[in-house]
Amino acid sequence: MQALLLEDDAVLSSEIALFLESKSIKTDKAEDGEKFLNIFSKKPYDVFLLDINVPKINGLDICKTIRESNSETPIIIISAYDGIEEKKEAFLRAADDYLVKPFLLEELLLRINSQMRRLTPKTEEKEKIVVEDLIIYPEDSKVFRSGEEISLTVKEFQLLVLLARANGRTLSKQYISDEVWKNQFQSTNNAIEVYINFLRKKIDKNFKTKLIHTRPGFGYYLSPL
């Protein structure tokens, strides 16, 4: 991580930089607003730490300048001002956090980490079932074989997913009836045979490797073997 610190107190600036660098956050320092903007223009940073009362250009104006070209990178104000007006002004200029001096360096690290978690996308990988060249996305109700999308009805899709999730195990007609048709009618066995044939025409007919198989007397299974 890369941080850019605006702080005119040389001792505090060094303490913050040394501490953050011990936590793998490389920290560049500026003691006034003009120097900060000069450094800011040269490379990207992951977080900005701004004191308010600094020479030349104050931290609130710096905050506003940053936001004119950068809407995402976290800005944390670190200031001795603890009045509501200063805090209100900081947040009006789109600061993300406000830490009042004196503060523990560990707390500053917590605030930085909190902001970085906010920026980290929460990626939940969608379920994907793969059998040979057959790929099923249950959440999206999509099926592909050899890269070709195959259109299925709702029941065909439910039946295919049930077979695929069985990992090659044979599923009885009774089990399929319970899971897909919920025993809604008496002629379920015939319906299952019909839908297995529908699936074979769509999933297997145009492909060399057949995936949907019958185990006579037991049921059906999905496997490349």
Per-residue pLDDT tens for 104-159?
999 999 999 999 888 765 555 678 899 999 999 998 899 999 888 999 999 999 99
Check for a shared fold between 2-119 and 129-222. no
Q: Compute CA 26 distance to the chain's CA centroid, rounded to the nearest angstrom.
A: 25
4 CB-contact burial (10 Å; exposed 0-12 / middle 13-18 / buried 19+): buried
Q: What are phi and psi of 180, to 5 degrees?
A: -100, -45
Q: What is the pLDDT at residue 188?
A: 60
Q: What is the pLDDT at residue 123?
A: 52
CATH superfamily, region 2-119: Response regulator (3.40.50.2300)
Considering only the top CATH level, what class is 129-222?
mainly alpha
Assess whether pLDDT exceeds 60 at residue 185.
Answer: no
Hey, is 5 helix, strand or coil?
strand
Domain boundaries, the chain: 2-119, 129-222
Q: Cα separation of 98 and 84, whole Å?
A: 11
User: Which tokens belong to 3?
Assistant: 């941080």
What mean pLDDT is reported for the chain? 91
User: Which tokens belong to 20?
Assistant: 């953050």
Q: What is the pLDDT at residue 211?
A: 96
Confidence of residue 182 (pLDDT cuts 50, 70, 90): confident
Assess whether pLDDT exceeds 60 at residue 186.
Answer: no
